[in-house]
Every structure is written in structure tokens, then in C-alpha cells.
Amino acid sequence: SAVISQKPSRDICQRGTSLTIQCQVDSQVTMMFWYRQQPGQSLTLIATANQGSEATYESGFVIDKFPISRPNLTFSTLTVSNMSPEDSSIYLCSVTGKGGFLGEQYFGPGTRLTVT
Amino acid sequence: AQSVTQLGSHVSVSEGALVLLRCNYSSSVPPYLFWYVQYPNQGLQLLLKYTSAATLVKGINGFEAEFKKSETSFHLTKPSAHMSDAAEYFCAVSAQGAAGNKLTFGGGTRVLVKP
């Protein structure tokens, strides 16, 4: 399985500001995913990020609010823009597993964001 | 379209007792099914996966799950609970052949283990 790190691990931010979350993988991967986990809730997919192409956003998520970069096969960033308290969540990145099993994903430790 | 329903948002078991977490799925195509565990303040860890081979799947930490197509279920079990099993468990489904390898998660079940 891939080893995934995220920075920062947690942050407390003021409303109206933006935070960029980094996701680093120890091997080259084609597909990376960004999820949001609101307090006490399950995971919701924000977008899929493929290297060299625009991210694909899920219904309810827009690029202006959650811009994503994918400059190479081991790195991605998610920015949470113009934050409000409703953005307080854990943000997780994931990658597909080696061997190509559809759906099998490995997750980073998450970034715990609190917006005041 | 796919969906996952986990019955019971909280489960309490005694140490040494059977752990049973229920998961039912809906998928218009043959599914891939997964169980993940999330320990406090950590990311998700893959417990086990069903990918159309054996219907009884064994995973890490003594967990196993059985795929029952007729019941559209993929329940997770462990014969004897340990204190370290206290965590949140998520069932997830992916559609075979689907573009994008998307996972759809259930609502999660939080397991409390009593001594």
C-alpha cells in the first residue's frame, strides 16, 4: 500500500481566510481523491484529481471554493477558500491501490480544520 | 448509482464477545465492497475487500466479511472483540468497471468495547 502524508495535520483558521492542504505520496499514482468528513459524519468525495488534467468535482462542490492542483504523480493540494465555520471538517486525500482493484483506496491521516 | 446503508450508528460489545456490523449495498452493476476502520484522530485503514473472488473475505485484525448477493449484504464480523477494536467502521462500495474508481461510503458504525 502507498504511504501518504498530509500537511498540516490540523489548523485553526479565521473565517474569510483560505487554507491549502498538501498531500504527498511515496510512489507515483494516477488518481488522487479529496474527501471531506464533517464532524460525526461519513466521508464525502469532493473531487478526483488526475495529473495533467483539471480536477473533476462532485455535485455540491465547486472549483472556486475548493481549488485543487496536481502538478505531478506524487503530490496534490486542496485549498479551502473563503472559509466559514461550516467548513470545519477533516479533509482526507486518498489514492488508488497498486494492482488496479477498482475502488480500493489508501488514505492519508487527514487534516483537521477548525474555522472560528 | 450506488449506495451503502450501515445499520446502527453505534454498537456496544463486551470484550470477548462477537462483533457484528451490518452493511447493505445497492449497485446497478457487480460491486466491489470494502470495510475500512478509522481509529480516533487517524485516517482510514483498509480492513478487507471483496472483488468477486471468494465470497468469504478475511481481513486484518481477525475480521472477516461475507458477500451475499441475494441479500445485497456485506456484514463484518469478528469472533472475539478486543479493546483495541474500539473505532469507527465504514462500509464502502465501488462499481466494477466504473470510471473514476469512486467509492461510496456508508454512514459509519462506531464500536464501543466494554471491559
Q: How far is B6 from chain A (nearest CA, A)?
A: 11
Closest CA to A33 of A18, A17, A44, A20: A44
Chain B environment of A104 (Cβ under 8 Å): 32, 34, 46, 49, 51, 94
Give B-chain residues touching A44 at CB under 8 angstroms: 105
Is residue A73 classed as helix, strand or coil in its secondary structure? coil
Averaged pLDDT of chain A: 91
Residues 9-38 of B with CB under 8 A from A: 32, 34, 36
Closest residue on chain A to B44 (Cα): A107
Which whole number is the average pLDDT over A56-77?
94
Grid-cell match 483560505, residue found: A18
- pLDDT reported for residue B97: 57
Look at residues A55, A57, A50 and name the one whose alpha carbon lies nearest to residue A28. Answer: A50
Lowest mean pLDDT among A65-69, A81-85, B80-84, B93-97: B93-97
CA distance B50 to chain A (A): 10
Lowest mean pLDDT among A2-6, A48-52, A62-66, B76-80: A48-52
pLDDT of residue A77: 97
pLDDT of residue B88: 95
Q: Are B60 and B2 in contact (CB under 8 A)?
A: no
* pLDDT for B40: 87
User: Residue B89: which residues within 8 A CB-CB, separation 6 or more?
Assistant: B6, B21, B35, B36, B37, B38, B47, B76, B108, B109, B110, B111
